[in-house]
Structure 1
Amino acid sequence: MGVRVSGVLLGLSVVVLAACATGPGAEVAQRAQTELVGMPKDRLLACAGVPERQASAEGRDYYTYVARPSGGYGPSSGLGIGAGGGSFGSGVGLGLGFSLPVGGTSTGCEVTVVLGRGGAVEQVSYPAGVSLSACAPIVENCVRSR
């Protein structure tokens, strides 16, 4: 019965990953799940950088990397000076600027990398339901450096 349940869970995982693997970069994120396995810790840190969060349990290290959505909004200010027609003017303005993602990720992603007792990558995992394209920026340098 345990083998049967494992097979069902594996099948569901493949379906979920296939449904989430859309957009540019999804292939890179999928490849990272196999190509990074065995990568030493120092190489991981060199290509992915310092993780946002770290945890250790049962002899394994868990590194969590975060890709934030591109685009956003926030306050902006400007200073304008104008002249023309024999007059001179100046002003200070305060506005609200925003940007829309164009060709970037519109959603964020957290990638968890598990390092085994020997300090090498054992697993790369993504949250369920996230577009793998959103995760690609985290792992693409590591896939390229392989």
Structure 2
Amino acid sequence: MKFNRQTTIRGLIAAGALLGLSACANPQADQAAYAQQAFVGMPKQTLLSCAGVPTRSASVDNVDYYTYTSERLVTTPAPGPHLGFGYGYGYRRPWSPWGWGVGFDDYPETETRDCQATFTLKDGVVQRIVYNSASDGQSARLGQCYRIVENCLALIPQQQSQQPK
């Protein structure tokens, strides 16, 4: 294979794309996804001791369903005041109702991240975990679900070294 300038540029672009994707990785989301397989076979007593009392529970035909919930409010601050010219929405200083002035057009963004984790247990053993969430983006959803399973993940020896700090 010949290396020329175009090949080098393509390689740099590909490396940059991989670096960019790895920078967006969410280790907590990865751990929550891992828990869906790792917890299968966990005894009911262990689940209750590490996850606590479920928010809701139900039993149907010798199958138990334990639902845990986690919710938090995430606020991203606004960029702040900016100097500029323009008309439209926003607050401008009284001495400059139009034209030049300090604008406060941007408001902080607030988002609720939530997760409901339902554990299905049969004969006192975890069979599966299903996550449900209204949060946007898979990483945000699973990241919030991590808060439910994080204490139990500490009981799985092979995962202790990979848990996020």
The bucket for the TM-score relative to the shorter chain is: 0.5 to 0.7
Q: For 2:145 and 2:72, locate their aligned partners in 1 and report how far apart those are by CA, in whole Å.
A: 10
Task: Describe how 1:31-70 pairs up with structure 2 within 5 A.
Answer: 31-70=34-73
Q: 1:141 Cα deviation (Å)? A: 1.1
Q: For 1:51 and 1:70, locate their aligned partners in 2 and report how far apart those are by CA, in whole Å.
A: 21
Matched, 1:108 2:111: no
Q: For 1:120 and 1:27, locate their aligned partners in 2 and report how far apart those are by CA, in whole Å.
A: 23
For 2:148, which of 135, 138, 141 is the aligned residue? 138
Q: 1:58 Cα deviation (Å)? A: 1.7
* Higher relative contact order (CA closer than 8 Å, sequence separation 6+): 1
Structure showing greater radius of gyration is 2
Q: 1:143 Cα deviation (Å)? A: 1.4
Give the CA RMSD over aligned residues: 2.4
Count of matched residue pairs = 94
Q: 1:24 Cα deviation (Å)? A: 4.2
| TM-score (norm: length of structure 2) | 0.51
Residues 27 and 69 of structure 1, relative CA distance in 2, 3 Å threshold = same
Gaps of 5+ in 2: 1-24, 76-108, 136-140, 157-165
Q: Look up the match of 1:121.
A: 126
| TM-score (norm: length of structure 1) | 0.58
Q: 1:144 Cα deviation (Å)? A: 1.5
The percentage of counterpart residues that share the same residue type is 40
The SS at the match of 1:62 is strand
8 A Cα contact 2:114 2:133, kept in partner: no
Gaps of 5+ in 1: 1-21, 73-99
Q: Which amino acid aligns with 2:124?
A: G
The SS at the match of 1:115 is strand
Q: Which amino acid aligns with 1:27?
A: D
| Deviation beyond 6 Å, 4+ runs, structure 1 | none
Q: Deviations over 1:13-58 (max 9, x none)?
A: xxxxxxxxx6341011111101100000000001100000000112
